A and B are shown apart, each in its own frame.
Chain A
């Protein structure tokens, strides 16, 4: 019994995109355990993937078997140490887990993966200040860790600290300049922070990034739908009343034209002429919202 080619492809896609589709991954559990040795190097990555999925769905018996095999194949591996820590997090008290991580960090203070596990335990046990302190230290040492900057932004946002969140996200934008997803996150955070001119500018950049390869006639899809909605939301607000910008971002001169274009693009998403198979849903409420002054 082996994994089908399509199942392997799907699991590989999950790994590449860091997708947390634990239930779906776990469905392959028994097949993976029987056949992973025949997969070559990939087999160990699939086993690690199954380990994480098993912990997530609460099947610690399967997780333990995966960990046992990985530990046997890779003794003294820092990567397996992280998995051991994750397994502990599922059943042990936070203090026990933090003690384990402290020991590992004593031996190797530059183990970023373990450090991040420590920070995530601190965060989920409510020790937010300590988590932020450690995360800032980590980012001082590992400046290019995009995941770290994103986590920092997330912590700040969840505490309503939007300006520090924007500062963290600006590092993300420097490090991953071509990613429209992060640009969108920056725009939405700027809006939440109340800096509407900055949000508008960022939404427009997100539109430009995500529609770069699109032909003029096709309607927005995916990320650009959110981005155009953001442009419409901001431009309409700015037309109604001027809004101060903490970042001193100027308001574009052709605001009316921008708002009109956004209206057109959003309505284009809901045009029944688009979709090959099914019609867009909820068109009426969008038309109503778009038309409101």
Chain B
């Protein structure tokens, strides 16, 4: 299985998306590239919906637009992420599984990340990777716990979860974050880049 590394930019965006809409499901796509070693770097994330997340037309359009954006940056759509409405729900199916499956049609090593509501305030990595086994996607269970030492899933730096938490709590950066749903209400919102809420070193 490939190795996956989640960059600061991608992790912060997932985190901000979930933090901005605590009572809704949110979802989006992961952009990345394959390194010469074969490892996959998840470089960025593009947030899609926080409203009517089970309905497909805006999701379809958003996916298409995000794909074009990825291409323009020399990146590929390498995966999907979501946070469920309920804090104790970390399932991918049914909507997420469908979208992840579709992304896998375009990129065979596609991965899905589900945000772990219980861990979001803990300062630990708050995402659960899902990988496909045939048409069904399951939470990754390898020899080493995901995002721990030795795991094929890594964060680009160990302090990311803690940093994400303090950026939300102390600077409320997540309030400057906008997804495709927000953009459709106000097209001056930069949902593809979201540079306004990224710290200068990210």
Contacts and interface: CB of A to CB of B under 8 A. Distances in A.
Interface stretch (B2-10, B34-42, B144-152, B180-188): B180-188
Nearest to B53: A158
Interface residues of B, number: 27
A14 B185 CA distance: 19
A188 interface: yes
A225 interface: yes
Given A281-B189, A282-B192, A191 B61 contact: no
A160 B94 contact: yes
Given A157-B54, A192-B54, A281 B184 contact: no
A116 to B, nearest CB: 17
Contact of A285 (B60, B184, B189, B192): B192
A255 B193 CA distance: 35
Contacts of A41: none
Contact of A188 (B57, B189, B192): B57
Interface in A253-292: 269-270, 275, 277-282, 284-286, 288-289
A20 interface: yes
Contact of B65 (A160, A185, A275, A282): A282
Interface string A162-195: 0000000000000000000000010111011000
A279 B189 CA distance: 9
A145 interface: no
Given A56-B23, A226-B184, A275-B188, A189 B55 contact: yes
A250 interface: no
B197 to A, nearest CB: 14
B68 interface: yes
B114 to A, nearest CB: 16
B72 A284 contact: yes
Bin the interface of chain A by size: 20 to 34
A105 B60 CA distance: 44
Given A275-B188, A289-B64, A289-B68, A281 B183 contact: yes
B137 interface: no
B52 A289 contact: no
Contacts of A199: 57
A229 B72 contact: no
A124 interface: yes
Nearest to B88: A124
A135 interface: no
A285 B65 contact: yes
A233 interface: yes
Nearest to A185: B52
Given A229-B57, A289-B61, 20 more contacts: A20-B23, A56-B23, A124-B86, A157-B54, A188-B56, A189-B55, A192-B57, A222-B185, A226-B58, A229-B58, A233-B57, A270-B187, A275-B188, A277-B188, A280-B187, A281-B187, A281-B191, A282-B190, A289-B64, A289-B68
Interface of A: 20, 56, 124, 157-160, 185, 187-189, 191-192, 199, 222, 225-226, 229-230, 233, 269-270, 275, 277-282, 284-286, 288-289
